[in-house]
Chains A and B, each alone.
Chain A
């Protein structure tokens, strides 16, 4: 029994203790929940460093607990976005499936590349973080540009996935797209998952731009669909962490974060619904830049 409690509530030290510690976590959960609701991201890229810097929670426990928290907030968000008609379920499922395979392949590829580069894992991770920063800046720039189509129009430009002729296809009714290639959707998820596995980041921030730019979804649909991909990815990450013993998850921290997190998500979804698609994209590019800053700080501190 003690082994079980050690697995769901590992011991750690932090700057704060008692009610103040849990109230601070609830506050953080609330703020990150708003971001999850508005932009369809998990928010781990902000939550993990904030828990570590502000509360002194060890990175390993912060990362595991944040993943557990993301499962809860994205569950609330997914249900609400679904009711508001902001989710392409088929696209979410195929992309999630691809991203799980991609993340596992990314892990394996990372080990192989580290082996090829002479076993210097730290240098490899630094190079990967550098590439990730460039990718985030590129995404922020593309997302800040105005859409070439009218979101409310029935006429949609034909996407790359609709032009693919091989393999089965499916329709995405909410985004009015017919004949979208399933292998293409799987491939897009696989590429996103591969990047996250290769770069050792959670990568929820990648899926909203992937859905807008790669699949051609309208920003509002991309937010809901991205949150569904994040939910499935987080569940698979917790299962992987738990079974491989590769990470520590603290359920009390996750529950404290979740206490106000769901309220934040709901507020976020209401805000997202009121924003015009182009504005949503523009604000999202700021979030992506923030993620780039966080990774840059992590990269700089790894040199010292």
Chain B
């Protein structure tokens, strides 16, 4: 039982981290893009 719980944690944490990082990085990418546009104009 402990083995199954450990394997679930070892798979779920990186997968959830990977999914979570997509919108977070999208947000920062958009911010950087807007900032660079502002600086250019």
Task: Report if A and B associate in a common complex.
Answer: yes
Q: How far is the CA of A250 from the CA of B11 in the complex (A)?
A: 12
Within 8 A of A (CB), among B3-41: 3-7, 9-11, 13-15, 17-19, 21-22, 25, 29
| With A69-B14, A251-B10, A251-B13 as contacts: A7 and B22 at CB distance below 8 Å | no
Whether A238 sits at the interface, judged by CB under 8 Å, is yes
Which residues on the A side are within 8 Å of B13 (C-beta)? 72, 251, 254-255
Q: Which residue from B5, B10, B25 sits with its C-beta under 8 Å from A238?
A: B10
Whether A122 sits at the interface, judged by CB under 8 Å, is no
- B6: nearest chain-A partner, CB-CB: A7
Q: Are A8 and B9 in contact (CB under 8 A)?
A: yes
Which residues on the B side are within 8 Å of A266 (C-beta)? 25, 29
Majority secondary structure of chain A interface residues (helix, strand, loop or mixed): helix
Which residues on the B side are within 8 Å of A72 (C-beta)? 13-15, 17-18, 21
Q: How far is the CA of A262 from the CA of B13 in the complex (A)?
A: 14
Q: Are B2 and A3 in contact (CB under 8 A)?
A: yes
Which residues on the A side are within 8 Å of B9 (C-beta)? 8, 251
Whether A239 sits at the interface, judged by CB under 8 Å, is yes
Q: Are B18 and A79 in contact (CB under 8 A)?
A: yes
Q: Are A76 and B21 in contact (CB under 8 A)?
A: yes
Which residues on the A side are within 8 Å of B25 (C-beta)? 76, 262-263, 266
Whether A166 sits at the interface, judged by CB under 8 Å, is no
Kindly name the residue among B4, B7, B10, B14 whose own CB sees the greatest number of chain A CB atoms within 10 A: B14
Q: How far is the CA of A72 from the CA of B10 in the complex (A)?
A: 10
Q: Are B2 and A75 in contact (CB under 8 A)?
A: no
Interface residues of A, CB < 8 Å — how many?
A: 28
- B24: nearest chain-A partner, CB-CB: A262
Kindly name the residue among A4, A69, A74, A75 whose own CB sees the greatest number of chain B CB atoms within 10 A: A75
A290–chain B nearest beta-carbon distance, Å: 25
Q: How far is the CA of A263 from the CA of B7 in the complex (A)?
A: 25
Q: Which residue from A75, A243, A245 sits with its C-beta under 8 Å from B18?
A: A75
Whether A258 sits at the interface, judged by CB under 8 Å, is yes
Q: How far is the CA of A4 from the CA of B5 in the complex (A)?
A: 8
- A71: nearest chain-B partner, CB-CB: B14
Whether A226 sits at the interface, judged by CB under 8 Å, is no
A-B contacts, 24 of them at CB < 8 A, read A3-B2, A4-B2, A4-B6, A7-B6, A8-B9, A72-B18, A74-B18, A76-B19, A76-B22, A76-B25, A238-B7, A238-B10, A239-B7, A239-B11, A243-B4, A243-B7, A251-B10, A254-B13, A255-B13, A258-B18, A262-B18, A262-B21, A263-B25, A266-B29
10 new A-B contacts, CB < 8 A, other than A3-B2, A266-B25, are A8-B10, A68-B10, A73-B18, A75-B19, A76-B19, A76-B22, A243-B4, A251-B13, A254-B14, A262-B25
- B interface with A by C-beta (< 8 Å): 2-7, 9-11, 13-15, 17-19, 21-22, 25, 29
